């Protein structure tokens, strides 16, 4: 990242802090902290819920090399697929695990609801210096540290290089090129599509709006400003509405049997994803090894630009009495070469570490034969450097995304439009902010 990028992310974090600091929930989510050792002199025992690929192998590696902390891992559905609801319900019931996976977009909401514990005492300068500054800023709200960053998730485009080469289709550099390539692919094979609009996954759409320069959330004093219908968003919705209307992209549910089968049959020959998608794709269609490649995501003017699609952190729940041990384990997962090797050597994960020093480790650990030996981490490097500077996540991400998911699903079936969906999300978001007693600027 450039210095100007880092400064801009810092200003964004300060703005978020101003709004979040006004929430009584933010200052009330204390929780008790314990020692990084069990009360009986044995190891500190912590529980961890997550879903990121390669986590079981990472936990096994930790437990095999540490005597002072013992981790029990439970795999839960990904956040948007029910994982966040499970975490929230457990927090409310008072039986939440010590450590949970929270993606950057959802962290402000969990913090504002008082579900997480302030871990500032355990996040020192030594740890922060190892991590990308922007990742630290995204987990610093109200002047406090709420999670340990794990990875960044720059947008990436994956494509069937054999299909593109056979039909002499150029890998798109711009969104105009993408439309041209989509039309050429369908002409060459009426069943072939080079991309999918995922109606159930607003985060992919949000990353494209982010890339286009949109800014849905901002702050004005202690009030939130919300605009999901800004010019950048209108441009993105109009573009994808056109692709859907003309039948140039699929509209299958993300990672559903329908989408996966289309990959296996060769009907879907492109995937607009993120860095973590390299491992996912590899595990879904292993028999297509050597046929895929990674490329920068198309941009509007051909110049590098991007958003972030997901990205994970580790957060301590509010009632955990093993915060110190949980953060020690989280820190190991995020900064230890052994942890990255265990995770990526599983063959399932292609995570792009937030700890810059681990980039070479990740590159060596990830088996690139599926991509014909291509250095996909070189693509990730460029994509990460191009992430836009002005995006802010708001404290009602769950409501915003639920509204988008419902409306996108209808629009993909021809009942409504994408433009109407983002207007619905705007109304739902403002309503939820007011319901929580938060101020909304200009309203």
- pLDDT tens digits for range 53-93: 899 999 999 999 999 999 999 999 998 889 999 999 999 99
pLDDT the model gives residue 30: 42
Per-residue pLDDT for 216 more than 70? yes
Contact at 8 Å (CB) between 204 and 309?
A: yes
pLDDT the model gives residue 9: 38
pLDDT the model gives residue 443: 56
Average pLDDT over residues 343-370: 89
Per-residue pLDDT for 22 more than 60? no
Q: What is the CATH number of domain 155-307+391-440?
A: 3.40.190.10
Instruction: Give the pLDDT confidence of 307-340 residue by residue, as tens digits.
Output: 999 899 999 999 999 999 999 999 999 999 999 9
pLDDT the model gives residue 138: 84
In the chain, % of residues over pLDDT 90: 78
Which of these ranges, 97-101, 129-133, 152-156, 406-410, has the smallest mean pLDDT?
A: 129-133
pLDDT band at 40 (very low <50, low <70, confident <90, very high): low
pLDDT the model gives residue 38: 57
Average pLDDT over residues 162-184: 98
Q: What is the CATH number of domain 3-152+310-354?
A: 3.40.190.10
Instruction: Give the pLDDT confidence of 226-253 residue by residue, as tens digits.
Output: 999 999 999 999 999 999 999 999 999 9
pLDDT the model gives residue 102: 97
Q: How far from 378 is each of 78, 156, 207, CA to CA, in Å?
A: 27, 11, 20
Per-residue pLDDT for 32 more than 80? no
Q: What is the residue-averaged pLDDT of the chain?
A: 90
- In the chain, CATH 3.40.190.10 sits at 3-152+310-354, 155-307+391-440
Which of these ranges, 142-156, 312-326, 389-403, has the smallest mean pLDDT?
A: 389-403
* Strand, helix or coil for residue 268: strand
pLDDT the model gives residue 135: 83
Per-residue pLDDT for 19 more than 80? no
The span from the CA of 136 to the CA of 14, in Å, is 12
Kind plus residue range of the DSSP H or E element containing 316: strand 312-316
């Amino acid at each position: 990242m450039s210095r100007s990028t880092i400064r801009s992310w810092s200003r964004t974090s300060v703005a978020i802090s101003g709004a979040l600091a006004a929430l009584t929930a933010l200052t009330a989510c204390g929780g008790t902290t314990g020692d990084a050792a069990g009360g009986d002199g044995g190891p500190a025992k912590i529980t961890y819920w997550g879903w990121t690929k390669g986590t079981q192998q990472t936990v096994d590696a930790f437990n095999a090399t540490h005597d002072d902390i013992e981790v029990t891992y439970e795999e839960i559905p990904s956040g948007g697929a029910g994982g966040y609801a499970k975490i929230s319900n457990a927090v409310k019931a008072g039986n939440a695990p010590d450590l949970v996976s929270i993606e950057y977009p959802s962290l402000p909401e969990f913090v504002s609801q008082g579900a997480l514990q302030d871990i500032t005492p355990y996040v020192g300068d030594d740890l922060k210096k190892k991590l990308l500054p922007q990742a630290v800023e995204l987990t610093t709200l109200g002047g406090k540290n709420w999670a340990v960053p794990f990875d960044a998730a720059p947008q990436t485009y994956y494509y069937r290089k054999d299909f593109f080469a056979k039909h002499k289709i150029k890998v798109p550099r711009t969104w105009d090129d993408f439309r041209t390539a989509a039309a050429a692919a369908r002409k060459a094979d009426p069943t072939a599509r080079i991309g999918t609009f995922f109606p159930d996954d607003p985060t992919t759409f949000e990353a494209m709006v982010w890339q286009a320069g949109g800014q849905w959330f901002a702050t004005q004093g202690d009030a939130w400003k919300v605009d999901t219908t800004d010019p950048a968003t209108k441009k993105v919705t109009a573009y994808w509405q056109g692709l859907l209307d003309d039948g140039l992209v699929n509209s299958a549910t993300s990672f559903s049997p329908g989408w996966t089968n289309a990959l296996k049959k060769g009907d879907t020959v492109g995937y607009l994803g993120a860095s973590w998608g390299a491992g996912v794709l590899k595990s879904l269609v292993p028999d297509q090894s050597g046929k895929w490649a990674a490329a920068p995501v198309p941009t509007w003017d051909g110049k590098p630009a991007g958003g972030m699609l997901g990205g994970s952190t580790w957060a301590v729940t509010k009632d955990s009495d093993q915060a110190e041990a949980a953060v020690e384990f989280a820190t190991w997962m995020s900064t230890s070469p052994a942890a990255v090797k265990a995770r990526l050597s599983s063959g399932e994960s292609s995570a792009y570490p937030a700890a810059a020093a681990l980039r070479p480790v990740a590159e060596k650990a990830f088996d690139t034969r599926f991509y014909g030996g291509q250095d996909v981490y070189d693509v990730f490097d460029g994509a990460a450097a191009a992430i836009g500077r002005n995006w802010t996540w708001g404290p009602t991400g769950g409501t915003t995304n639920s509204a988008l998911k419902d409306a996108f699903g209808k629009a993909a079936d021809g009942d409504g439009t994408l433009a109407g969906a983002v207007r619905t999300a705007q109304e739902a978001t403002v309503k939820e902010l007011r319901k929580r007693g938060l101020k909304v600027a200009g309203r």
